[in-house]
Structure 1
Amino acid sequence: MSNSTPTVTWYYLEPQTSCPKNPFWHWTIEQRGPSLQIHVMEDLFQGLYFCVVQYQRRGQTLNFTRSINISAIYPTTVSKVPSILQPTQDKVFTVKTNSEVRLVCRGLIPFVLQNPLKEIWWTVDGKTVSELSNERFSQKNSLVTNDYGDVTEDSVLLIRDFQPEDLNRELNCSVRNQRGFMTHRVHLEEEVSLPSLELGCGLGITLVLMLLLFVVYQVFWLELLLLYRSWFGTDERHLDDKEYDVYISYARNSEEEQFVLSTLRSVLENELGYSVCIFDRDSLPGGTITDETLSFVARSRRLLVVVSPGYASQGSQALLELKAGIDGMALGGHLRVILVQYKPVQRQVWVRELRRARVALALVRWQGDKSKELTSRFWKRLRVELPVRRVSSREEGLLMRLHSQNSTNSQTGLLSSTNDPLKLFNSGV
């Protein structure tokens, strides 16, 4: 028995320090006798409190200490019914078969003072996970937040090696406390996976083909253009009444003249099947040069100008042909002028008419031995600028013979009705 009346002292241990605090610092909390009274509970009053009882016994002072932890909770006026935050009711999850599936259920469970029961769980086909015999299913709960006793918890349903038959299972997430109960059902559907391997291979093949086509176009664009013209190009002979495909203009008594007569004319007529007009060969003796030149140029679809240092000198035949061709282009006719550079020529020595028209004219360069073959870039580039020709081999042979006869007769002055080879061709057919 105590020899004196025991004294009771309360202490509060601040969370930031390890030192007890007394007397109390707030008017809403006070000690009355052996009791500690908190009139208005606040957040800062939470923590660890110590009760120290001191008394005398047989001349000795004895201390008896007990501790109590005080936590704040929401008042009863706040709803205490539990709820499921996620998933929503009838939520559809997309899953992959033969993989691990994690389904997360988050619930809010308020604290009820009379009965602190708090539960969150999954059921599979009406059974809890612990009741299932299938070891592929497991459940793990974890605390997310604790807000004055109202806890938010996650319950994760883990399904290992998900099988197609699991899509038809009934999966429910439930929460419960002393005040209520809530459950949400979730649905599963199989994820439609994109064929990544096939898609990647297809994309890679497409890129390779595009790169290959780009390289092919850069290397063979002339061949592709000629092929396109041969299929879809329009034969200009059916659209106009021109007599010649090409009129060749060149500087007389020069090296270029030999190139025109032995190479250019021969290939255009004999190999490519074009009707070629050369003034010195096809003009009638005794005619007016100016009138016949203008007539020949007007009856031609292309004017082929072989550029040389002495070309188109003042008062020359070539200058007259060049002016007639440029005027024909300017007037919007079907005549087009093509420049052929047999040897490198500085542009400063070109005549004024040629320099002005160079911007709108195509220039094809002869590159010596590299251009002799019919498959060379020179002849392909020239064919792109020349009219499209579609004739059979029989028609080509007949036209070549008629042009040859026309050339022979015009040089001997015996030209009559053979001046128009198309008429003879039609009569021959």
Structure 2
Amino acid sequence: MASFICSLLFLVLVGGASLAANQSSDLTESMCYDWGEAGEAAVSVLEGEAGWLSCPLFSHPSVYNYTSTQSAGHNLFWYRRPEGHDLEQPIAHSSRLSKDKERLWLQPAQCDDSGQYICMLRNKSSCSKIAMQLSVLRRDNVLRGSACEPPAAVAPKDVQIYLQGVETLECPDLRDAVKMSDGPPSVTWYHVNRAQSRCRRYPFWNSDWQQEGTSLRFHNMLVPYQGLYFCYVQFQRGGKSLNFTRIINVTAVYSSSLPKEPSILRPASDELISVRTGSEVRLVCRALFPVILESPWMEIRWTVDGKMLDKLPDHQRFSQTSSEVLYDFGDRTVENVLLVQPFSSRDLDREFNCSVRNQRGFESRRAQLEEEGSLPSVELGCGLGVTLVLMLLLFVVYHVFWLELLLLYRSWFGSDEGHTDDKEYDVYISYARNSEEENFVLSTLRTVLENELGYSVCIFDRDSLPGGTITDETLGFVARSRRLLVVISPGYASRGSQALLELKAGLDGMALGGHLRVILVQYRPLRHRVWVRELRQARMALALVRWRGDESRELTSHFWKRLRVELPVRSGGKEGGANKTLLRLLSQNSTSSQTGLISNTHKNPDQVLNCAA
């Protein structure tokens, strides 16, 4: 607006001189100076509401004053150029469009009123005109934040109020309505808090805020009172009932009783900033500016050796940018970044100061710089190489010997389950009752588990007493065992067999009490579809160890290591001896110490027992 006024003054002077030089003898003919369109004077009115246009020629009294121009014989005329037309049309006085001094009243506005309006000030010797735009908005086209908000065409007016402070809100443009109305207007206030999705209409006040006449008085401003305030104005003019709506956006800010001096947050007073010469360096100054409604002016900047950046001989290397990083109830955290490119060794001796200022105070702080030491590339490369090689070796060792490492860990740190429960057996073996599986269980599994590894093994056909009930004794054996070892084969767990009873008892004990774990030993390969339903359902939660014939006969084979991982930990005894043998085999990288132990078992089980004894 200031630039427009200056331009207007200049053109008036120039226009007056030009008019004096070119004025003809016929004073009835005059030149009219067109100042174009005043974009800042554009007006928006809601359809059906009252509105008015103020001639921009009178926006500054030092240029044009309505009373003085009338005394000098000037008259004000209004013209209109409707949307889509090129010709100006004079506006005739009517009950809906009326002129009052420098204003043109719309009482009320209609959608057809949209277009360009020209106000012309002229007498017999001079003429000046300026245009402005009018937009009449339909109610259903006005954007609203919520359905309860009244429609309004004018942008909200921003108002900030101190927390716990006292403030009075006046409805915008109410004074103009008072001047033009035939009687005192009435104002209805609405409060909309979009954050809480709440709309309230008078009377909703309390002792903290209430309406006094046409104004809204805050006796104690609180955070919930923030939001949009709509004032609905009704008044009488020329026998008509007119109205318009205005919006005030109220935000709360920190109390005026709090300190208002600015403070520097970064760099800290004891902070050392590492910089690298020859590269781009960014120095950050961050400051807090408390809100001051009376004077919001503030300043944050860098100086080098006490000089502004543009005063430095090498100012091309320096630049600074400011941005707001946080807004908290009016308090603003602002950051100013000084960019030095490239940073030279001479800059280490310079004084970089961050300064902040507002109406209440001033603070300055120097940035403490230190040169960043370069890392020795050769030593760093060697260290990274050795680290990668060691990691690769550890990965290979773990991938190859993970079972052996796990067994050694169990032998050193594992706790014997026999000390924490009242189980009688370590392992209960369930298998199909046929010659092949039975021979494998009695001659191989039982012999190694009992004689070599020191486990107590329960086999129903061997340990049950004659004359007992099969179902009760089976359930009892399974309940008194820590592991259920199931030997899977094509004929296992047929319907109605004892093996199926043992499997169900083990799965129930594992699922319900958690005191029993089930281990699957696949003696012979079989297709998954021939498994019984109970095995298919529990397969994903069970450990499966595969017997691979002659390949699995050695005690140091993958089969026995994998099986021992699933079996209970045995402290001392023969499992401790087996762990010592395993440790010796790992150190000697040999697997021949136990050769033939299992292969001879099928030939003469008694001989194996005697040797073990």
TM-score between the two structures when normalised by the length of structure 2: 0.34
